[in-house]
Amino acid sequence: MLVILMENQLLPPDSVCQSCLMADRFGQPRWRDGQLRCGRRLQPVAPEDPVQYECQMGFRIAQVGS
């Protein structure tokens, strides 16, 4: 499951991505083959951190769970 990381909360991508020009036709992030196509991968701060991406709009997105 993908989530948008905010300071003190996790948001579902559809609450942010609906208005993004980079989103797919369903208003979802362009997630394909385990990678975010509309952003860049960030280096983890700690080994136990989930893989994080920064989207074109500047939000951090992480995949949590499976």
User: Per residue in 3-27, pLDDT tens?
Assistant: 999 888 999 998 899 999 999 999 9
Residue among 11, 10, 15, 61 at smallest CA distance from 38: 61
CA separation for the pair 33, 18 (Å, rounded)? 21
Per-residue pLDDT at 55: 92
Phi, psi of 53 (to 5 degrees): -130, 155
Higher local confidence (pLDDT), 34 or 30: 30
Q: Give the burial class of 39: count Cβ atoms within 10 A of its Cβ; 0-12 exposed, 13-18 middle, 19 or more buried.
A: buried
Please give the average per-residue pLDDT across 46-59, as a whole number: 89
Instruction: Tell whether the model's pLDDT for residue 65 goes beyond 80.
Output: no
pLDDT at 44: 85
Spatial distance between the Cα atoms of 62 and 49, rounded to a whole number of angstroms? 9
